[in-house]
Amino acid sequence: MVLEDLDRDLVLAFLDELEEKRNNTVATRNARLAAIRSFFHHVAAADPASFGVAQRVLTIPTKRAHIEVTRHLTNAEVNAIIAAPDQRTPRGRRDRAFLLFLARTGARVSEAISVNADDLQLERPRSQVLLHGKGRRDRVVPVPQDLARALAALLRERGIANHEPRPIFVGAHNERLTRFGATHIVRRAAAKAVAIRPDLAEKPISPHIFRHSLAMKLLQSAWIF
Q: Report the relative pairing of strands 128-132 and 138-142 from DSSP bridges.
A: antiparallel
Q: Which of 8, 56, 71, 108 is catalytic?
A: 108
- Residue among 157, 150, 192 at smallest CA distance from 174: 157
Q: Which of 134, 136, 137, 173 is catalytic?
A: 134
Separation of alpha carbons 153 and 102, rounded Å: 17
CA 101 to chain centre: 16
Q: Which of 29, 94, 104, 211 is catalytic?
A: 211
Residues 6+ apart with CB under 8 A from 158: 170
Residues 6+ apart with CB under 8 A from 143: 104, 105, 120, 121, 122, 127, 128, 129, 151
CA angle in degrees (0–180, nearest 5) for 159-111-70: 135
- Residue among 32, 27, 16 at smallest CA distance from 65: 27
Residue 160: φ, ψ to 5° = -110, 135
Q: Which of 8, 132, 208, 212 is catalytic?
A: 208
Q: Is 108 an annotated catalytic residue?
A: yes
Q: Is 91 an annotated catalytic residue?
A: no
Count the helices and strands in the chain (H runs, E runs): 9, 3
Q: Is 208 an annotated catalytic residue?
A: yes
DSSP 8-state symbol, 167: B
CB 168 within 8 A of CB 115: yes
Residues belonging to the active site: 108, 134, 208, 211
